[in-house]
Every structure is written in structure tokens, then in C-alpha cells.
Amino acid sequence: MAQPLGVTETPIPGLLIVDLPVHEDPRGWFKENWNREKMLALGLPDFGPVQNNVSFNTRRGVARGIHTEPWDKLVSVATGRVFAAWVDMREGESFGTVFTAEIGPDRAVFVPRGVGNSYQTLEDETSYVYLVNDHWQAGVYPALDLADPQLGISWPIPLAECELSEKDRVENPALAEISPIPHRTTLILGADGQLGRALRALLPDAVTFTQADGDLSSTEVLAGIDWRRHDVVINAAAYTAVDAAETAEGGPVCWAVNAHLPAALAVLAREHGFTLVHYSSDYVFDGVRSSHDEAETFAPLGVYGSAKAAGDLAVGSVPHHYLLRTSWVVGEGANFVATMAKLALDGVSPSVVDDQIGRLTFADELAKATLHLLQNRAAWGTYNVTNAGAPMSWAQIAAAIFAQLGREAADVAPISTEEYARGRASARRPAYSTLELAKLTDAGFVPEDQLVALERFVSDLRPAVTVGTGRSRS
């Protein structure tokens, strides 16, 4: 009876042994060398192989490696047996860790990028097979001396008796001469916006790209970024001027940032294998329903919502993606809450729309949800993300801010959207923006109540504003 499919960890982080069921009968044997559904369920990463290579070795004692190409691979044997050795070449505590194992048809090994891979054949006519998730290209990749005493690899067949390439025999350096391979990093696009700043606070080691670094709608700018360095790309860049998007000047810019950029990133994500994180909006819906789940069909009311919907469709084509749909974002910088707090402290009594219903999303909460999904390897796809609590109108939120700052809630005058828009160039807005949060909470992230977060946010704002003037204190 064939052994069950199983996955075992090794001392090298991410290097996994895969026990393969081999089904034999008088005709020979059969095995599933790669079964995505079964292997992902057991903990293998969804590494997206794009090339299948076979190395046929005519005789016992052929040795190859230790090579460290910039891609992940699943190695196995079709016929024969090998003794294989791996060395962690990545920066960090595990640098230099060695693991060895014998591999036959009943075993495969997942080798993450940055781990050196080598083997020697133990039988004649051995076929060594490997799936890789990037197309081979010429280059000089880190390699190690197979006989380096620091590695201490006990090769079953002495290397002096093995057949090696000239490079593997004399040219490769020792571990002590090698610089560790840097880990792939997270890249935050739009890192100077409200959300971008919140993401930077949680991901201080991330590479950032701001408006000062270039125009992301430019193909030349995108071509100048080394995407191979990044395993996660978080796109926090967005055009959010909803009213201006309806103009001849603003419409093309809105489409460039909110639709064309995500489409370009989707192509790059498929090409380079990184996880793409993107942010969507309640504006992709018409707001007729009182609340919206992730599966609702798009029905945007204007240019902004249409561009966001187009970007969403592009991002949804990426195998590894998180699309976080949100509403009413509040963070560091100009926003509704800061405006209302200033008006309250300046003694102004504003008129605020009371027939648009939804929830606030504080940028730091959205950033925390992003990190949660990434760190916990939640299922790929779309997630609604806002703060929790009972849905409220803009007028109710403004009244809560006024009350906290010592003003009467009645100092906020409710007004309809129609009245507010009279005489203004205003885009149509969804009447109901409330997003269902069940999928997010099922993934283990429970958002904070919006009123709790609002009270803290306003408290943090108040010391920076002088009562009666609205001027910043020096």
C-alpha cells in the first residue's frame, strides 16, 4: 500500500519534505508529482510553477550544485535515487544551516528561493525533475564549494570520485566568502497618503514609493522598479477626488491611477510572482442595498466608482491577491473628521449630509487588517474592511465629534444630499455604504468599533488645534 501524502518541516525555514504516494502494479508505478489542491492543504505554498525541467544523469556519482537561483522549486526524482543537500543562503539566523536527505520517486522537496540546492546520483540513469516558478534566464547566481568543510556535508560518494562540472569542482567559494542573500521585501506604493503612512508605521522595513519618486501611471516609471526584489506589493496609491473625477481634466487622471495602474500591477504580479494588495471602495456599488457583501455585482454611479471597479476586475485576475474594499477612510492629513473637529473648535455650526449611511474606516485599522491577512495567509480574494459598529450618517458622526469637543450635537444641522449638492458640481454618491464584515471576522480579524476609534482620533487631534482659531500650535 502506498504511503500517504505528507509534508514535514526541516531545520531550514521553508524547506519542506513531501512524502509522495507511489502506486505500483506489474506494469510499473504512478505518482502525482504535483497536486496543487492536496499539497496546499498540507502547507505547501502556492508557488505557481511555470517551467518543468528534467536533468538526466547517465551514471552513479554525478554531482551538481550548490546553486542558489532566484526562484522557488519543487525537486523530485522520476527514476533512480539521489543524495541531496541544501544550504540556507538567506540573511538571518538560519544562514549557513545545512540539511541533507536521500530522495527517490517517493519523495519531493520544496526549496524556497535563497536556499542552495545540490545532489549526487546514487544510481545509474537517474532522472532528476524540478518545477520552478520563474523562467530560466542566464545570470551569475550564488554557488558554494561542495567540499567546504564549514558545511560538513557527508557525501556518500567521495567528491574525488564524482563527475562534476569544472565550475563546481574548482570555482565556487566557501560559505565564509559569501554575502547572505537579502530577503525579498514589501513595497508600498502611495506611501505618502493617509493609508500609506499607516502602513509605513506597521511595516517600517518596507520599501516605499511616494509621489516624489515618480508618476506611477507612467510605463517608464513602472519599468524602472525592480519587481523581483519584492514578494508583496501593496498598492495604496489612489485618486480620491470624487467630484473632480467627473470633469474633463480629472476623469483621465482618475482612470490612469484607479484602473490602468492596478491593471499594470496585475500583469507584473503574474510575471514576477508577488502578492498584490489593492484597495477598493464602496463606490463600485450604487448604494441601493442597505449593506454590501463581497459578492455583490458592481453598479457604479460615476467616473470614480467605474474606474475603481475596472481596477478591481484586473486585480482579481492575479493568483495571489488581497483586494480590501473599504469606505470613508480617515487618517493622518485632511479628512472629514479633522474638518469637523476644526469647525467645532472654531465655533462654526455646519450643515452635514444625513442621508448617506455607512461606517468610518480608520487608516490604522485598515493597515492592521492588511497585515493580518498577509501574516495569517488568509485565503486570497476580496475582503470588506471598515471599522465595526452601527452604521451612521455623516451628520451623526459630526454630532459625535461636536459632543466630544464640548459643543451641542444640535449645532450640526442635518441636510439632504440633494440640498447639499444644489449649486455645486457634485458627483452622485451611494446612499448606503455599509460593508458586511463577516468574511473578515471569519478570517480572524475583528475591527474596532468606529465610535471608540473616533473618540481616540479626536482626542489625539485636539491638542494640535487652538480653540477659536483653528491654528496649529507651535
Is 383 within the bounds of a domain? yes
Task: Domain of residue 40: give its range.
Answer: 6-177
Check whether residue 449 and residue 310 sit in a common domain: yes
331 and 401 both lie in a single domain: yes
Q: Domain end: 158, 177, 196, which one?
A: 177
Q: Do 215 and 168 fall within a single domain?
A: no
Alpha-carbon 253 to chain mean position: 25
Same-domain check for residues 253 and 123:
no
138 and 158 Cβ atoms separated by less than 8 Å: no
Answer whether residue 410 is part of any domain: yes
Q: Are strands 321-326 and 275-281 parallel, antiparallel or unpaired?
A: parallel
pLDDT at 124: 96
Give the per-residue pLDDT at 137.
78
What parts of the chain have a pLDDT lower than 70?
462-474
How much is the pTM? 0.82
Q: Which of 188, 82, 86 is nearest to 129 (CA)?
A: 82
b (16+ CB within 10 A) / e for 58-80: eebbbbbbbbbbebbbbbbbeeb
Kindly state whether residue 389 falls inside one of the protein's structural domains. Answer: yes
Q: Are residues 116 and 194 in the same domain?
A: no
Contacts of 332 (CB under 8 A, 6+ apart): 194, 197, 198, 363
Choose the final residue of a domain: 147, 177, 207: 177
pLDDT tens for each residue of 96-128: 999 999 999 999 999 999 999 999 999 999 999
Q: Please count the helices (runs of H) and the strands (runs of E) in the chain.
A: 13, 24
Do 26 and 156 have their domain in common?
Answer: yes
Same domain, 231 and 109: no
The answer on 194 and 137 residing in a single domain is: no
Q: According to the model, what pLDDT value does residue 171 have?
A: 81
What pLDDT, on the 0 to 100 scale, is given for residue 81?
A: 97
Positions annotated as catalytic residues are 67, 130
- CATH number of the domain to which 448 belongs: 3.40.50.720
Per DSSP, the three-state class of 423 is: coil
Residues 160 and 239 in one domain: no
pLDDT given for residue 466 in this prediction? 44
The string of pLDDT tens digits covering residues 404-427 is: 999 999 999 999 999 988 878 789
Q: How many domains does the chain have?
A: 2
Residue 472 domain flag = no
The verdict on residue 399 lying in a domain is yes
Question: How many CB atoms lie under 10 A from the CB of residue 441?
Answer: 12
Q: How far apart are CA 367 and CA 194, in angstroms?
A: 10
Looking at 123, 151, 177, which one is the last position of a domain?
A: 177
Please tell me whether residues 392 and 270 are part of one structural domain: yes
Distance CA 322, CA 186 (A): 14
pLDDT the model gives residue 470: 37
What CATH code is carried by the domain that includes residue 139? Answer: 2.60.120.10
